[in-house]
Amino acid sequence: MKGLRAALAFVGLLPWIRGLANRELHASLGGAIDAAFFALCHHAPERTLVLGGDVMCVCSRCAGLYAGVFLAAVWPWRASPAILRIVLPAGAALMMADILSQDLGLHAPWHPVRLATGAIVGFAATAWMLSEMVGSGRRGRHGDHGEALAG
Amino acid sequence: MHPRRFFPAVAIGGGLTGFVLALPILGDVLRCAMCIGVMAGSLLSMKLWLDAHRAENLTPIDAAMLGACSGAVCGAASWIVSVPIRLAFGHALSDFFMERAFLPDFLKVNLRGLYTDDFASIFMSLPLQVVLYGVMGALGGFLGLQYVFSARREAP
């Protein structure tokens, strides 16, 4: 579980490290991070945040999503799966509403909304997964203990 | 939890998805749809495994592990297929995309960046890509069990 949390935190933080430490990173390492994220995001300039004068390697919605993944990975409390089961589709519906209204030309890309909707979905999905995994791990251990006692 | 039991389903599902994502033009179109390609690979791997093990169900941990393996295989396969393409045809593909008038400018710039990486960047991107795709695959596997294959979810 600790390894998974570490991997989630690393992945969630990576685009932000790339954006914030852009000038300090070796060019090849920066290029490697870009190459890894190129396959996962369109990062259109008008939909991407600019940090320190350079555009991030992912769009603002994906940046929010990765931030949500990071927050869920380092979140010290176990969130209720029942609540997250509702929060995730609600967040996804908000995100879809923003995507549709933006792509229909009703408004320009709003970075705060893009960040927030991405973060809700990223946090809810990751926290739900971790919460269920902790739950089934506990049930598994209790089950094994029960079987051992019965045996 | 033994990840090895998910092979060869994850090798087939993840490998196939990675191959498709690495293909020029087709893969470039799929890449624009966020990480859906990687998550779809997790779903394909899960379907293959569930079809091959009709008497077994999956726990959330199993689903995330299966998805992570599929994502990692997808990242590695995509990298392996794309390296010779990038090194041999990178500039030609970059020129091909730059000359297409119907493509938006941001897409051209992104595609040019993808096909003109230096070798050190390409080499260092492998472990990053495997971890990144593995994490996205784990999320895809977990969500796939909750929403797509919920009937095969092991009762607590």
Tell me the ipTM for this assembly.
0.84
Contact at CB, A32 and B120, closer than 8 angstroms: yes
* Smallest Cα distance from B144 to chain A, Å: 11
- pTM over cut 0.90: no
**Pick from B60, B132, B146: which is nearest to A133 by CB?**
B60
What φ, ψ does residue B62 adopt, rounded to 5°? -60, -45
Which 8-state DSSP code applies to residue A90?
A: H
Contact at CB, B113 and A126, closer than 8 angstroms: no
Helix (H) or strand (E) holding A54: strand A54-55
Which one-letter amino acid corresponds to residue A55? V
Which 8-state DSSP code applies to residue B58?
A: B
What is the chain B residue with the closest CA to A63? B34
The pLDDT confidence band at residue A150, using thresholds 50, 70 and 90, is very low
Which pLDDT score is estimated for A140? 60
Point out which residues pair with B58 in neighbouring strands. B153
Predicted confidence (pLDDT) at residue B113 exceeds the cutoff of 80: no
Distances (CA, A) of B86 to B80, B96, B131: 10, 13, 21
Contact at CB, A69 and B32, closer than 8 angstroms: no
| Dihedral, CA of residue A20, residue A24, residue A25 and residue A28, to nearest 10 | 130
Tens of pLDDT, residue by residue over A75-95, are 877 778 899 999 999 999 999
Which 8-state DSSP code applies to residue A80?
A: P
**Pick from A28, A38, A140: which is nearest to B118 by CB?**
A28
Contact at CB, A7 and B134, closer than 8 angstroms: yes
